[in-house]
Amino acid sequence: MNSHIEGTALPVGLQQLYAMQRIRAFESEIHRLRMEGPVVGSVHLCSGQEAIYVGATRALDLPRDLVFPTYRGHGWALACDAPLTAMFAELMGKATGVNGGRGGSAYLSVPEVGMMGENSIVGAGAPIAAGAALAAQYDGSGRVTVAAFGDGAVNQGSVHEAFNFAAVMKLPVIFIIENNHWSELTPITATSVSDRLFKRASAYGMPGIRIDGNDPDLVEETVARAVARARAGEGPTMIEAMTDRIVGHYIGDAQTYRADGELDAAIANEPITRLRKKLLAHGIDPSTIDDVLASADRDVAEASARAQQDPLADPNTVLEHLYA
């Protein structure tokens, strides 16, 4: 994460602002590139949910700790400090991508920064993260793992198995539910009797908490407590982080399922707008805030331009790095 702009160390609030705007600008540029053609395939953007990624990763010891997100994982990768140009290159199928152009939007991984890979199987990251946490109990690493998934994934059988196994084995894993109120195009209230998903934790004997997922400070504090608990051998924690995506579930989603005014309310409460207001209230000069936002936008634009000049991956290498 770039905590220095023009040689000046930034206060924490401005670091958070830069990191969130960097993700937001990346997603906006990916949307443009997807519509114009350089990016192909399935793309799911995370705009509006940036505070979860920025807050959580600030509480982790990366890359010792490991993150296992879902297919909406660009924000997690960037918050883990994945290189911008190589991220763009990956989504454009370039040889210089973080996975040589093989992963694309929904399957990329950046293990060198602790981001262990997206997964298009809903909720599949939960048992994988539990497995990595089990390994951590034996390898002496002191590692903590994070499984991040949406509210809809909580109804997957494999996710329940991961909850139970992690609790029984007291695994050092944190389950973060990114509750943006929509299981793809269906409200959680249509698939569950109770929408207070964190309460399910008690059935497995682990602590669960619901927090404001648009507050990066609160996310960091909550994850830090869960990390300390996990490192102390006390087992897993479930964190339900309430947020909203301010884009469609997928590119091209008309979002006709949203009620009138819902999207406007979500945009008014999104984390970058909120943090900007908070910084202003704490006396940060508006020009300083604007400089930080502009710096993030500029870094993203420059990285995109560089990646667009890189060579496409060689189709003759498509069978390389495959294992069975």
Q: Is residue 285 part of a domain?
A: yes
pLDDT level of residue 176 (50, 70, 90 thresholds):
very high
Average pLDDT for the chain: 95
CATH number of the domain bearing residue 27: 3.40.50.970
Q: Is residue 214 part of a domain?
A: yes
Q: Is residue 78 part of a domain?
A: yes
For 83, the domain range is 11-306
Q: Is residue 314 part of a domain?
A: no
| 319 pLDDT more than 50 | yes
125-158 confidence digits (pLDDT tens) = 999 999 999 999 999 999 999 999 999 999 999 9
Strand pairing partners for 211? 241
pTM confidence score: 0.95
pLDDT, position 5: 52
Q: Is residue 217 part of a domain?
A: yes
Q: Is residue 2 part of a domain?
A: no
| 9 pLDDT more than 90 | no
75-94 confidence digits (pLDDT tens) = 999 999 999 999 999 999 99
Domain count, the chain: 1
Q: Is residue 313 part of a domain?
A: no
Find, among 75, 78, 67, the residue nearest to 48 by Cα: 75
